[in-house]
């Protein structure tokens, strides 16, 4: 498959406690990793894909390094204890972007994710920059052309930038245009957006496209009043949900390993209160974690936080 390569078996390693008890297992021991891309053999499970790409971050003048994120996140996840849901994970390999070939890489991610969705798999993607969202999100839209798909972005940034070329700052405008081309509504909600991190032009674009935005201060100060009703609205209103999590939504102290660390941010404990009902809704079709940049991690702190988020999603995301 175009730009695809398998993940080395050495990535999925950890402590072996199986001699203690039959169920003393860790994620690396329960995850399926055949070294092949074969979605039809794993129908109904969760496909884990990596997107080794930061070409969009470079175009957006951010700090490069997110292309190395997927395998570092896998290594951090591998040694965590395996509980219900983690046995559903199936390693489906990485898509590796070539230099200055963003659009080709996004198409490759789209094709891989679409193949998994057509095999009735759900998709969990480790990015890569937030350019991941166009490849992944467009695959979800294309997999369900006659259904209402809600897009939920946990992010300090709206990523609706007007630009002559795609970047990590344009994915949701690209998805809006994709919806227009398909003559379907664009249902986009951004939770955690920072007024300080988005120009007025971006807020105007969000208003023009009728995007639902809950700012970081509202999340922190009025979670029950503003966030929980919006999560419930998305669950009730749409047939399928696509959740994309830009790790720069977390406070810089919790997540230093991103292109643009947040000065304020949403703590992981609050973020999980958003994620849990979405995972348990039965409508969550796809999730990605993006912008993790190991080049700027602090003693593995960011990798552990992101891996715990992925661990929790897989645990709650049971059929």
Q: What is the mean pLDDT of residues 248-257?
A: 96
Report the pLDDT averaged over residues 68-97.
98
Q: What is the pLDDT of residue 2?
A: 82
Averaged confidence pLDDT in the chain:
97
Domain residue spans in the chain?
Answer: 28-316
Decide if pLDDT at 1 tops 80.
Answer: no
Res. 115: pLDDT tops 80: yes
Output phi, psi for 202, to 5 deg: -70, -40
248 is an annotated ligand-binding site residue: yes
One DSSP character per residue, the chain reads: -TTEEPPPGGGS-----TTT-TT--BHHHHSB--SS--GGGGTTSEEEEEEE--HHHHHTT----GGGHHHHHHHHHHTSBP-TTGGGEEEEEEEEPPTT-HHHHHHHHHHHHHHHHHTT-EEEEEESSTTHHHHHHHHHHHH-TTS-EEEEEE-SS------SS--TT-HHHHHHHHHHHTT---EEEEEEE-GGGS-HHHHHHHHHTT-EEEEHHHHHH-IIIIIHHHHHHHHHH-SEEEEEEEGGGSBTTT---SSS-BSS---HHHHHHHHHHHHHTS-EEEEEEE---GGG-STTHHHHHHHHHHHHHHHH---
**In this structure, is the dihedral angle defined by the CA atoms of residues 127, 130, 134 and 137, taken in order, positive or negative?**
positive
Residue 157 labelled as part of a binding site = yes
Determine the pLDDT at residue 318: 79
Q: Which residues pair with 287 in a beta bridge?
A: 124, 243
Rounded Cα distance, 204 and 157, in Å = 14
- Out of 1-5, 82-86, 172-176, 195-199, least confident range: 1-5
State mean pLDDT over 155-162.
Answer: 97
* pLDDT surpassing 80 at residue 174: yes
Token readout for 144 is 């369900």
Q: What mean pLDDT is predicted for residues 124-152?
A: 98
Give the per-residue pLDDT at 319: 63
pLDDT band at 127 (very low <50, low <70, confident <90, very high): very high
Average pLDDT over residues 62-88: 97
Reduced 3-state DSSP string for 253-311:
CCCCCCCCCECCCCCHHHHHHHHHHHHHCCCEEEEEEECCCHHHCCCCHHHHHHHHHHH
State the pLDDT at residue 196.
96
Helix axes 132-143, 171-181, angle to 10 degrees: 20
- Asked whether the predicted pLDDT for residue 146 surpasses 70, the reply is yes
pLDDT in tens, 10-55: 999 999 999 999 999 999 999 999 999 999 999 999 999 999 999 9
Q: Does 130 appear as a known binding residue?
A: yes
- Local confidence band at 193 (pLDDT 50, 70, 90 cut-offs): very high
Mean pLDDT of 180-193: 98
Domain at 28-316: CATH code: 3.40.800.10
The answer to whether 145 and 182 are in contact (CB under 8 A) is yes
Q: Is 155 annotated as a binding residue?
A: yes
Q: What percent of the chain has pLDDT over 70?
A: 99
| Residues whose CB is less than 8 angstroms from the CB of residue 36 and which lie 6 or more positions away in sequence, other chains included | 6
d(CA 209, CA 205): 6
């Amino acid at each position: 498959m175009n730009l695809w390569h398998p993940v080395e078996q050495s990535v999925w390693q950890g402590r072996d406690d199986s001699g203690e008890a039959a169920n003393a297992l860790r994620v690396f021991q329960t995850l399926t990793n055949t070294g092949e891309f074969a979605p039809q053999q794993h129908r109904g499970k969760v496909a884990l894909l990596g997107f080794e790409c930061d070409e969009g971050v470079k175009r957006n003048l951010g700090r490069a390094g997110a292309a190395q994120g997927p395998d570092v996140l896998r290594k951090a996840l591998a040694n965590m204890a395996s509980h219900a849901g983690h046995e559903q994970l199936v390693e489906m390999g990485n898509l590796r972007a070539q230099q200055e070939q963003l659009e080709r890489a996004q198409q490759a991610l789209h094709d891989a994710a679409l193949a998994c969705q057509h095999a009735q798999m759900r998709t969990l993607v480790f990015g890569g920059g937030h350019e991941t969202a166009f490849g992944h999100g467009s695959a979800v839209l294309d997999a369900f052309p006659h259904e209402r798909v809600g897009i939920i972005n946990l992010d300090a940034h709206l990523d609706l930038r007007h630009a002559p070329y795609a970047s990590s700052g344009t994915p949701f405008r690209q998805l809006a245009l994709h919806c227009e081309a398909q003559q379907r509504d664009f249902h986009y909600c951004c939770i955690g957006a920072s007024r300080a991190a988005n120009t007025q032009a971006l807020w105007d674009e969000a208003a023009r496209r009728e995007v639902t935005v809950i700012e970081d201060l509202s999340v922190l100060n009025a979670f029950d009043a503003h966030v929980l009703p919006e999560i419930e609205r998305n669950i009730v209103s749409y047939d399928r949900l696509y959740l994309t999590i830009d790790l720069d939504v977390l406070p810089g102290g919790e997540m230093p390993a991103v292109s643009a660390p947040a000065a304020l941010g949403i703590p992981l404990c609050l973020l999980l209160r958003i994620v849990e009902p979405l995972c348990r809704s039965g409508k969550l079709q796809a999730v990605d974690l993006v912008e993790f940049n190991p080049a700027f991690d602090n003693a593995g702190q960011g990798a552990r936080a992101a891996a715990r988020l992925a661990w929790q999603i897989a645990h709650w995301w049971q059929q």
